[in-house]
Amino acid sequence: MEIRASLYSEKRKQADLLVAALFEGEKYPSKLLQKMDPAAYATFEQAIKANRFSGKEGESLPVFGTTNFSEAKDILLIGLGKKDAFHAEKLRKTIGNILGRAKCQKSKSVRFLVESFTGSKVSFAQASGIIPETLWLADYKFDKYLEKKKDAPSPKVEKVDLLSGDAKQEKALQSAVERSEIIAQAVNLTRDLINEPANVMSPRAFAGKASEVAKKSKLRIKVLELPEIKRLKMSGVIAVSQGSNEPPRFVVLEYGAQHKSKGTICLVGKGVCFDSGGISIKPSKDMEKMKYDMSGAATVVGTLQAISELKPHAHVVGIAPLVENMPSGTASRPGDIITYSNRKSVEIINTDAEGRLILADALLYACENYKPKAVIDLATLTGACAVALADKCAGLMTNDSAIGKRLITAGEAVGERLWELPMWEDYFEIIKGHHSDILNAGSGYGGTITAAKFLEQFVTCKSWAHLDIAGVAWVDSAKPYNFRGATGFGVRLLCEFLESWR
């Protein structure tokens, strides 16, 4: 889909569809519409006066198949509801729904009157980024394995014009479009990595994809294989991967080495390319979804691709431990004890609590090798988090309230919300070992927090945040701007956070 900024006065061919919006209670459409297309303005104005359209949320007024309009063959007026209740996430859902409607109408070219979608908590600058970003995200579909019939192609919107009122707006709008495209491409890359089946996206294949991204984006990359992993005594990676025929990988991506003086930020992502649960095998129901247990690692790769183009003034290191967790004669057993490079011993109570085992190695590696100013890890770590928060937000646990607040603010700005959970020392008592220093699983209660307390034992920097994305990394049914499957959650949040890093 091609999206571009355009002045309302610019000469152009007639589009298939023109879309404008109106808040509840407003008596007139945008005055800019009157300048662009007087006939369209008059049509909407008459409908409002005749009480055929009130601007209520979700209301729409389509006018199709006339020859009266200069700007487009068809026009559509969308209700946004009460202005004081309008916010960025409502705009995202509205834009996603409009794209679906345009596809159903087989509109190949669509124009949006951007200023009509602004008001209250959504400025023109915000709408300028949200509209194109959402259009690209909503247009995503993972269908590479479907047999495509040439005689029945899926309807597509090919071209979108975002219309502005003056040259200053157009310039700002175009900049926002360019930034949105970078981020949307990174989110969609992340979705692709996650949606690939495990027989395709193995640890080796994932490392190969990361290498491709590094080459294209001019990032430094290091890929550690099993001999080096053993030399570095990465006990968690070794223990989890030893039941699989697929050897582990440990990927390190680096951006912005010239900004080291500002302090390094390490992003760590859980990369279990398939999680059977190991000897503590999972139930068969929904096990096919466990290909998405590498969503954290995919988010790290997607984020590094994005910031290589956004170019924030930050030194960012992305770390992704990659394994398969499988049951076999060589798999780790419940009751096995492993010792990490920091000499902490861990008893494996449950082999399905494997993500924290490999993240411990990654956190140690990050802290020891980069002495980071901050570490942020992302992981589909606990079903308990999905139970507590559903698919509405991710869990946040941190040892630094300042970084927690910054992440929450970034998440609110982009529609990827976080909810902070307590990290009281009492929770560590649940996983305190008897024959080892730590247990890798507790009693079942407070599972999201005890998992974070486990990770905390391997963090030596003063500013660390753990994001449990188990409930938000995957959706089972299509949302307005999320196709069924991987969401790419975290890329937009981290880009927002890193661009404001000082």
Side-chain-side CA neighbours of 394 within 13 Å: the count stands at 32
End-of-domain residue from the set 135, 165, 195: 165
pLDDT score for 430: 97
End-of-domain residue from the set 137, 165, 193: 165
pLDDT score for 152: 60
CATH of the domain at 200: 3.40.630.10
**Is 94 part of any domain?**
yes
Indicate whether 340 and 472 sit together in one domain: yes
Q: Is pLDDT at 149 greater than 80 in this prediction?
A: no
Indicate whether 419 and 300 sit together in one domain: yes
**Is 172 part of any domain?**
no
Alpha-carbon span 379 to 38, nearest angstrom: 53
Q: Is pLDDT at 246 greater than 90 in this prediction?
A: yes
**Is 225 part of any domain?**
yes
For residue 489, report the phi and psi dihedrals to the nearest 5 degrees.
-55, 135
- SS3 percent helix, strand, coil of the chain, rounded to 5, is 40, 20, 35
Q: Is pLDDT at 456 greater than 60 in this prediction?
A: yes
Which pair of tokens denotes residue 36? 């662009």
**Is 462 part of any domain?**
yes
pLDDT score for 364: 98
Side-chain-side CA neighbours of 274 within 13 Å: the count stands at 21
pLDDT score for 490: 98
Indicate whether 252 and 369 sit together in one domain: yes
Q: Is pLDDT at 467 greater than 90 in this prediction?
A: yes
pLDDT tens-digit map of 259-284: 999 999 999 999 999 999 999 999 99
Percent of all residues in the chain with a pLDDT value above 90, rounded to a whole number: 91
pLDDT score for 153: 65
Which pair of tokens denotes residue 314? 């930050």
Alpha-carbon span 326 to 322, nearest angstrom: 13
Please report where in the chains the tokens 């049509």 appear, as a residue: 43
pLDDT tens-digit map of 424-438: 999 999 999 999 999
pLDDT tens-digit map of 334-349: 999 999 999 999 999 9
Known catalytic membership, residue 12: no
Q: Are strands 438-439 and 345-347 parallel, antiparallel or unpaired?
A: parallel
CATH of the domain at 78: 3.40.220.10
Q: Kindly tell me the sign of the dihedral angle through the C-alpha atoms of 188, 190, 191, 192.
A: positive
**Is 108 part of any domain?**
yes
Residue type present at position 459: V
Indicate whether 238 and 109 sit together in one domain: no
**What is the rounded average pLDDT of the residues 351-363?**
98
**What is the rounded average pLDDT of the residues 20-37?**
92
**What is the rounded average pLDDT of the residues 185-193?**
98
Indicate whether 226 and 271 sit together in one domain: yes
Q: Which one is catalytic: 92, 179, 209, 356? A: 356
Q: Is pLDDT at 17 greater than 60 in this prediction?
A: yes
Other Cβ atoms less than 10 A from the Cβ of 182: the count is 17
Indicate whether 158 and 190 sit together in one domain: no
**Is 180 part of any domain?**
no
Is 57 within 8 Å of 119 (Cβ atoms)?
no
- For 453-497, the three-class secondary structure string (H helix, E strand, C coil) is HHHHCCCCCCCEEEEECCCCCEECCCECCECCEECCCCHHHHHHH
Alpha-carbon span 87 to 414, nearest angstrom: 11
Domain assignment of residue 243, given as a range: 185-499
**Is 176 part of any domain?**
no
Q: Indicate the pTM of the whole model.
A: 0.95
DSSP three-state, residue 32? helix
Which pair of tokens denotes residue 151? 């005689």
**What is the rounded average pLDDT of the residues 380-392?**
96
- For 210-233, the three-class secondary structure string (H helix, E strand, C coil) is HHHHHHHHCCEEEEECHHHHHHCC
Mean model confidence pLDDT for the chain: 95
Chain mean position to CA 11: 37
Indicate whether 70 and 217 sit together in one domain: no
Q: Is pLDDT at 82 greater than 70 in this prediction?
A: yes
**Is 318 part of any domain?**
yes
**What is the rounded average pLDDT of the residues 106-120?**
94
End-of-domain residue from the set 104, 136, 165: 165
**What is the rounded average pLDDT of the residues 28-42?**
91
Indicate whether 338 and 222 sit together in one domain: yes
Indicate whether 217 and 104 sit together in one domain: no
- Does residue 12 or residue 200 have the better pLDDT? 200
pLDDT tens-digit map of 217-240: 999 999 999 999 999 999 999 999
Indicate whether 133 and 22 sit together in one domain: yes
Known catalytic membership, residue 4: no
**What is the rounded average pLDDT of the residues 15-36?**
93
Per-residue confidence at 92, pLDDT binned at 50, 70, 90? very high
Quick one: DSSP state of residue 111? Answer: E
Indicate whether 129 and 198 sit together in one domain: no
Q: Which one is catalytic: 282, 289, 344, 373? A: 282
Which residues are paired to 163 by β-bridges? 6, 113
**What is the rounded average pLDDT of the residues 438-460?**
96
Count structural domains, the chain: 2
DSSP 361-422: HHHHHHHHHH--SEEEEEE---HHHHHHHTTT-EEEEES-HHHHHHHHHHHHHHT--EEE--
- How distant, in Å, are the alpha carbons of 17, 236, 273, 304, 376 from that of 359? 49, 8, 14, 19, 11
Indicate whether 277 and 159 sit together in one domain: no
pLDDT score for 11: 85
Burial call 157-172: b when 16+ CB within 10 Å, e when fewer: bebbbbbbbeeebbeb
Per-residue confidence at 477, pLDDT binned at 50, 70, 90? confident
Alpha-carbon span 397 to 415, nearest angstrom: 19
Per-residue confidence at 45, pLDDT binned at 50, 70, 90? very high
pLDDT score for 150: 53
The residue among 369, 262, 378, 368 whose CA lies nearest residue 313 is 262
Chain mean position to CA 379: 12
pLDDT score for 126: 96
